[in-house]
Amino acid sequence: MRPFFADDGGWSAKISSIEAHTIAQTMRALAALLEEEENALDFAHEDWPAGQEDNDAEALRPFHSAMTAQELPKKEEQTPQLSEEELLDYLRRKKQKSPELGVSEDEEMRAASQEKRSDEEVLASLDFEPVQTREKPANPFVAAMIHPMSTDARHAAELRALTTQSICSKKRAALSHVAQELENAAIRGTDVHVTSRSLNSWMMALNDVRQALSGPLGITDDKSALRIAALAEAASDDPENAGDEGVLATMYVVLAWWQESLLEALGDIKGKD
């Protein structure tokens, strides 16, 4: 693996096929974990049938039945929803055809406000209190990629409920895209190439792999980062006895260096479209 350099169409870096495949496999594994978190049991449905998969059509059947069993107005009870202007126009024309009806101005105004009251009643009937919290991801790699958005535990749980699915989707898309680019380069035996269009995906993917590895490695500050750097150096000196932590530490340090080289290469004018 070599540092990124600017070229005429963006930024490129040399990487061996083994390195490219290894990083790509790691990214695909993380993308799969994010997909599981994204498609996890809907936290708003606490009574979801136990043991059923999200994509199991049978699991959806009880909820589909519950929704379709809601009482709806019978056909003869349903009334057309007219705008205030349409309703006033209708009453005026009705009065002209049948003056004996004697529709007063007050009655017109009361009728005109009926639609507004109906809308308010509908909104009131839809008023509910959904479950507004979501637990921290159980998987340590996913948890390291999705940081709490607040130091307050309750507030952080509420924000997770609102954002987890969209965050997982974006991160998963970036990881999958970069993994494919790495695999393509490995198959062709060419340099990896980053364009200005794919730059955000590359930066997100590289950073997310580093973040995912930082959790299990226990990187929380400069001191722990130095410990991991030393562990990675020892692992590269004696790869046969590196162990799982040594392998993760090596990948973390290498990707941190590779990402830094891409950031430095961005300043070269050749990299600009």
pLDDT value, residue 132: 76
Report which of residues 189 and 92 the model is more confident about: 189
**pTM of the full structure:** 0.65
For the cut 70, the answer to whether the pLDDT of residue 236 exceeds it is: yes
Question: What's the rounded mean pLDDT across residues 242-266?
Answer: 91
Q: Which residues contact 193 (CB under 8 A, 6 or more apart)?
A: 7, 9, 10, 11, 12, 181, 185
Cβ 23 vs Cβ 255: under 8 Å: yes
- Three-state DSSP class for 10? strand
Beta-carbon-side half-sphere exposure of residue 135 (alpha carbons within 13 Å): 9
pLDDT value, residue 109: 56
Residue corresponding to tokens 């999705």: 146
